[in-house]
A and B are shown apart, each in its own frame.
Chain A
Amino acid sequence: MSFGQILSLVPEALWESIYMTIGSTALAYVIGLPLGFVLVVTAKDGIHPMRALNMVLGAVVNFLRSIPFVILLFFVTPLTRFIMGRAIGSEAAIVPLVISAFPFVARMVEQSAKEVDRGVVEASQAMGASNWQIITKVLLPEAKPSLLNGAAVSATTILGYSAMAGCFGGGGLGSVAINYGYQRYDFLVMFVMIIVNVVLVQALQESGTRGARLADKRIR
C-alpha cells in the first residue's frame, strides 16, 4: 500500500477509536463514579460505614479487575450479542470495554474521593450537612481536579483496551493495524497506526492534566 492509501485509512479508524474510547469511558463512569463513592462512603472510616456492603462491592471490583481483558472480551461475548445484537464491530466492543473499565474507574474515583481532607468533611458535619450534601457539595467538588486527572488516565487505559478489542473483531486503529499490518505483513501500516495512537493518548492525557490544573483552585 502506498503511504497515501495508508493515510486514507486513518480518519475512519481514528474516529472509531475515539468513539469506542469516549463512549466506553462515559459509560464506565456512569457505573464507576457512583460505585467509587459508595466504596468511600461505606468504608470503615467513611461517613456511613456499611461493612458488609463495602466488602461485597470491594470483592466484586477486585474480581473483575483480576480478569485479563482479552479473556473477558471472549467471556462476555454472549452478553455482548444479547445487548448489541452482534459481537463484532466498534459498538459491540463497548460492552466488554465498559465491563472491564468500570471497576478500574471505581477504584480511581475512590482514590480521588479519599484524598479529600477528613477535617473538611468533619467541619461540614459540624455545620449540619447530611451525607448526601457531603457527597455532592464537599467530596465531589473538592475532588474535582483529582477526578479529572483520573478520567484522563482511565480514558487512555480504555483506548489501549480498545486497540486490543480491535484486534479481535472490534474496529478502530487496532483493527487496521492487525488486518493490514499484521495479517498482510505491511509494517508501515502498523507503524502509522501506532503513531496515530500515541498522538491520541498524548492528546487525551494532556487535556485531562490541563483541565485538572485549570479546575484546581489550590494553585495560582
Chain B
Amino acid sequence: MAMIELSHLSKTYGSGENAVHALDDVSLEIEQGEIFGIIGLSGAGKSTLVRCINLLETPTSGTVTVDGKTMTSLNGKALREARRNIGMIFQGFDLLMQRTALENVRFPLELAHVPKAEANERAKELLKTVGLEGREGAYPAQLSGGMKQRVAIARALASNPKVLLCDEATSALDPTTTESILELLKELNRTLGVTVVVITHEMRVVERICSRVAIIADSHIAEQGEVQEVFLHPQTEAAKKLVLPSRAGKLEGFAEAEARDAADPCRGELIRLAFDGMTTDRPVIADMILSCGAPVSIVYADTRSIEGKLYGHTVLQLPGDEATADKLKRWLRDQGISYTKEVQ
C-alpha cells in the first residue's frame, strides 16, 4: 500500500468570482521509501498540494491518506498526533529565532511531552546526524542558510516521521549548498527509510535525488512516472514546456534573432536527440559526422554522463540537402538513438 495516497483532491481558495482553483482533481500515490518529486512552474499549485498532505490546508474535496490514516477525516488532537508522523521543511527554514539549534530540534519533542533529558539526548544525536555536531548552542542568526536548513531537517526528523515533506527546501540556497542538502536528504532516505516528497521548480533537484516525479501544471497533474522517462520523453504539452525549455519559440542560449536564423528552413531541419542512458558515453555527434561525411551544427545541448551512460538532449541542425539529412537520420536510427523533429 502506498505511503501517501491523494485521491481526487481539489482545493479552491475563495468563492464566486474570485475563486482560485489551486488544485483540481489531483490523484497521486507515493510509495513507502521513495523520493518523489513534484515539479511545476510558479503558481501551479505545488505548495497547496504539499500543504494538503499534512492538512495545513484543508482540501475542498477528496481524501488524503498517509501511512494508512485518512488525514482528511481527522480533527483536533488526532490530527495533531498524525502530523507528528509527517516532518516538513520549508524554503525559509522557519526556525524559532529565539531558540538555539538544540532547542529548535528539541521543540517537536517538547510538544509531544517527551522528558527533557531524553529530548536533549535525541536532539544532540540528530544534530550530529545532519553534520552540526558542536553547534548545539548556536542561534539561527549565527548560522548560514545551509546550516539553518540542516537544523530544520533535524527538527523535522525529531519525532521519527515516516514522511518528510520538502517545500522548495533548497530554493534559497546556492548551488553548492543545495547539492549538500540534497545529498543529506538522499542519505537520510537511505539510512532511515523515510519517504521524501520534494517540491521544486528546478529540474536539477529532481534529477539529482528523485526516483519518480509528477509534473503539476495549472492545478492538474500533467504527467507522472520515472524521472528519466518523464524528462526524456515528455508526453503532454505542459510537461514538454517545463522539461524542454528551448521549445518555447526560442532556443536556449540564443538571442531571439539568432534563434530564428539558426532555424532558417533553407539550412535544413532541426532535430532533437534524446539520450536516455541507453547510449554509452561516446562522442556520438563526432562519430555521426565522420561516418556520414556530412556536417551538422549543434544548436543546443544539455547532456551529461552518469555512470558511463549518456542522458539529456541535443538539438542539431541538419544540412539543407535532403539526401544528406536522410543519411544522417538513418545513421542515428541504426545506432538506436531516438530523435524527434523539433517544431518551431
Contacts and interface: CB of A to CB of B under 8 A. Distances in A.
Interface of A: 117, 119-120, 122-130, 133, 137-138, 141-142, 144-145, 215-220
B96 A142 contact: yes
A119 B94 CA distance: 6
Given A123-B88, A128-B111, A217 B81 contact: no
Contacts of A215: 98
Contact of A218 (B56, B81, B97, B159): B97
B99 A141 contact: yes
Interface of B: 54, 56, 77, 80-84, 86, 88, 90, 92, 94-100, 107-108, 110-112, 139-142, 155-156, 159
A128 B98 contact: no
Contact of A128 (B81, B92, B96, B100): B81
B108 A119 contact: no
Given A217-B139, A218-B141, A220-B142, A128 B94 contact: no
A128 B141 contact: no
A126 B86 contact: yes
A98 B168 CA distance: 48
25 contacts: A120-B95, A123-B88, A123-B94, A124-B111, A125-B83, A126-B54, A127-B83, A127-B156, A127-B159, A128-B82, A128-B83, A128-B111, A128-B159, A137-B107, A137-B110, A141-B98, A215-B98, A216-B98, A217-B98, A217-B99, A217-B100, A217-B139, A218-B97, A218-B139, A218-B141
B290 to A, nearest CB: 57
Given A117-B94, A217-B98, A218-B97, A128 B108 contact: yes
Contacts of B81: 128
Interface core residue of B54, B80, B94, B139 (most chain A CB under 10 Å): B94
Contacts of B94: 117, 119-120, 122-123
Contact of A119 (B92, B112, B142, B155): B92
Q: Say whether chain B's binding surface is mostly helix, strand, loop, or mixed.
A: mixed
A127 B84 contact: yes
A217 B139 CA distance: 7
A120 B142 CA distance: 18
A129 B111 contact: yes
Contacts of B156: 127
Contacts of A122: 56, 94
A11 B101 CA distance: 48
Nearest to A137: B110
A220 B98 CA distance: 12
A217 B107 CA distance: 17
Contacts of A127: 83-84, 88, 107-108, 111, 155-156, 159
Contacts of A130: 77, 80, 111
B52 to A, nearest CB: 12
A126 B56 contact: yes
A141 B97 CA distance: 9
A128 B156 CA distance: 11
A133 B205 CA distance: 35
Contacts of B54: 126
Contact of A141 (B56, B82, B96, B141): B96
Given A127-B108, A128-B108, A137-B110, A142 B97 contact: yes
Interface core residue of A122, A126, A144, A218 (most chain B CB under 10 Å): A126
Given A119-B90, A128-B159, 17 more contacts: A117-B94, A119-B94, A120-B95, A123-B88, A123-B90, A124-B107, A125-B83, A127-B159, A128-B80, A128-B108, A129-B80, A137-B107, A137-B110, A141-B98, A217-B99, A218-B140, A218-B141
B298 to A, nearest CB: 45
B55 to A, nearest CB: 9
A137 B111 contact: yes
Nearest to A123: B94
Contacts of A137: 107, 110-111
A129 B112 CA distance: 8
A142 B98 contact: yes
B84 to A, nearest CB: 4
A117 B86 CA distance: 22
3 nearest CB pairs, A to B: A123-B94, A128-B80, A119-B94
